Structure 1
Amino acid sequence: MPTPLEVRLQTLENSLQQAGITYQSLSPMADTGLAHDHVWMHRHGDDWVARLPKQSQMDLAPADNLAYEAACYERASQGGHVPRLHGTLPVSDALPRGGLLVDAIDGRLAQLPEDLPCIADTLASLHQLPLPAHPAPLLAPADPWQAMCEEVSRQAEWLEKADLSGAVISRVRDELNALPVTLPDAERCLISFDTHPGNFLMTAEGRAILVDLEKCRYGLPGIDLAHTSLYTSTTWDINSQAVLTLDEVVAFYQRWQARMAKSPSAETLVACRRATWLWSLTWCAKWRAQHLHTQDTAHRGQDWSAELTDAAVIEHVRDRVEHYLSLPIIERVHSELKHLQTAL
């Protein structure tokens, strides 16, 4: 009886053969995330990685999600710090969410704080890309701040469904109420929206490559800066955890500002940091409420069921979710936000 992994590899082999794509061998990569399986494709000269979606974090139907992810790589790789897209494998009975074929990156996981300057350079290369005339299929809200606040507000509906204490819910809602209605300088650019440090690989040449793109949109660059350096991001990945000091966070922002032709105000950057933190907290509440649901066999959109992911990964996510939704950690991040605006 073949194992699930063996079935997955045979399915990928068949799909590659039907697409006329050649390779030498396939090596499954460790299951470290909630959204994709990854398989290293050994080839003559240039290795690729097959990214096989487990779900859509954008809550899209399979074909739409595949097109969205492909657009993320096509747009972001123009900055030179993202793997190139080589093709897609169509949605089929065998691959119910299809697959993407991208450059394999030979590198190590980013380590903080030492790799923060290189990560800042990578983000600047992304954020300075010109806006396209036609941004679709990527999200491009006319008011990116309002769109961010609305997304956080929708996720916040899960707070009361996640079996959290009244004290935690109250503190999170206090932070939500502290978000400004408008920002003075909310200019759009291409952002990743998922730049936690575990998504960067460092090459031998010292370049930081952002390898995981599926949520790109035209939004506020402060969201990416926050997602890279918030406590809820730097302590997320099991292999690259770090707790940054305020001085290290400030130096990271200043490095990015030095690489940009124009920077948002400190007020806007800190507002984006608060909103990104609240997006993470409300996502944690959503995951806490949903992850024990049964797998969605119709493959319709988001699916946080534990059946899709290695048990050790689920346990790690559960540990992080409980940690971030604890009152001491909420107060810790709140305190940092108070001090950051005056330091920038």
Structure 2
Amino acid sequence: MIDLPVLLAALQRLPGFAAVALPDLLPLPEKGLAHDHVRIAGTTWLLRIPRQSQFSFSALDNLSYQQACFERAAFSGHTPQFRAVLPPGPCLPMGALLVEAIDGVPLDLPEDMAGIAACLAAIHSLPVPSDSNRRPLENHGDAVAGTLAFIERQSIALTQALPACDARRQIESELEWARGFAAESAGQSQPLTLVLSDTHPGNYLRRKDGRVICVDLEKALYGAPGIDLAHASLYTSTSWDIASAATLTRPEIESFYRHYLSLLPGGMADSLRVWLLPLRRLTWLRSVTWCVHYRMESIKARQRDKAVAASTEDWSTEDVDAALIAHVEHRVADYLDPQTIARIRCEWVGERPLSL
């Protein structure tokens, strides 16, 4: 539950917002598990209020990281502008970010996949700073190893979440492949860019001018652009958000990749191609092991001391809209279904892998 009077008091301390009144704060419907959102009437701004950090940051570090995400990606022209941070405190434990409110509508798939491709191509084409200037964003110089580290952490609960069954056996087979691929590809160079990491179609809005804007930037880092492409087009992503849910056909997936590659500068497309299918496979494994992680973490009690906690990762279902939780649990059950897993794996295992 958002404490609007507390939020208002924090907002009024920012230059230019002293005249905002309580009726001007318009909470938006709950849509995701990590943030609440409040529109400020009569302005072009939105308050983005974290519930947790999916990277296990403290409240203050989470705000600093998200600020960097918004500031770095803004040069693409496909993300909201950042304005200010409202610091954490006893009554606003995770603080908030003040960012541009995007007037737009949820995407229609597959028609808007071209818009996602344009958005991602613009972000991936931004200049990459030197190693020392990439902080505070994570730097996955070896993107395969960096992603595998997430997967390994999430898969710890695999035996508990999925007792011996076909779904678990398939996931374990993919884990074995991922470890082998990480060892095999270690030291091999691939394009490294600013990436968003969480690029499922529900994280975008389409403006009236047709431009697709990514509005959720909390997990940006320097890594492999192929992971963003995969996360934008896997079944576990395109069916996640209620408003934009769709199942892409194989030709539609392949067309999305082709369009994206056509938008890249120079020889970047040629450098990426060999990585696209294995990174799609790795990204699916990241998504499905998150489902395992969520299944075990969501039954825990809500963390109540986030203002001072070293880690604020918190997937508890307490205090979350019941309809949203029902939707998430339905999606998780689908993604962990052995038939769903087998159908997705046909994209890379078998006689007809995707042609990317």
TM more than 0.5:
yes
SS in 2 for 1:145: helix
Q: Does structure 1 conserve the Cα–Cα contact (< 8 Å) formed by 2:128 and 2:193?
A: yes
Partner deviation per Cα, 1:302-321 (whole Å, 9 max, x = no partner): 00011142111111110000
Match of 2:59 among 46, 59, 62: 62
1:309 counterpart (301, 315, 320): 320
Q: Structure 2: which 5+ residue stretches go unaligned?
A: none
- In the alignment, is the contact (CA less than 8 A) between 1:31 and 1:313 conserved in 2? yes
Partner of 1:102: 99
Q: Displacement of 1:325 after TM fit?
A: 0.2
**1:343 matched residue in structure 2:** 355
Residue-by-residue CA offset, 1:244-269 (whole Å, 9 max, x unaligned): 01100011001110011212443311
SS in 1 for 2:99: strand
In the superposition, the TM-score normalised over structure 1's length comes to 0.94
Instruction: Decide which of 2, 5, 11 is 1:10's aligned counterpart.
Output: 5
Q: Distance in 1 between matches of 2:86 and 2:61?
A: 13
Distance in 2 of aligned mates of 1:294 and 1:90: 25
Structure 1 residue identity aligned to 2:259: R
2:331 paired with 1:289 = no
**In 1: Cα distance, 2:301 partner to 2:322 partner:** 15
- Note the 1:83-94 alignment, pairs <5 A: 83-94=80-91
Q: 1:250 aligns with which of 249, 254, 259?
A: 254
Could you list the runs of 4 or more consecutive aligned residues of structure 1 that deviate by over 4 angstroms after TM superposition?
A: 339-342
Equivalent residue for 1:111, pick from 94, 108, 112: 108
Return the offset for 1:107: 0.5
8 Å CA contact 1:36, 1:54 repeated in 2: yes
TM-score, normalised to structure 2, is 0.91
Q: What residue in structure 2 maps to residue 188 of structure 1?
A: 192
RMSD: 1.5
- Alignment partner of 1:135 is 2:129: no
Decide which moves more: 110-119 or 150-159.
150-159
Partners of 2:274 and 2:295 lie apart in 1 by: 32
CA distance in 1, matches of 2:31, 2:323: 9
The answer to whether the 8 Å contact 1:128/1:189 transfers is yes
| 2:230 equivalent to 1:218 | no
| Contact in 2 for aligned 1:83/1:103 (Cα 8 Å) | yes
8 A contact 1:266–1:341 mirrored in 2? no
1:123 matched to 2:120? The reply is yes
CA positional deviation for 1:185 = 4.2
Structure 2 partner of 1:231: 235
CA contact (8 A) 1:87 1:100 kept: yes
**Contact residue 185 and residue 268 of structure 1 kept, 8 A:** no
1:21: Cα distance to partner? Answer: 4.2
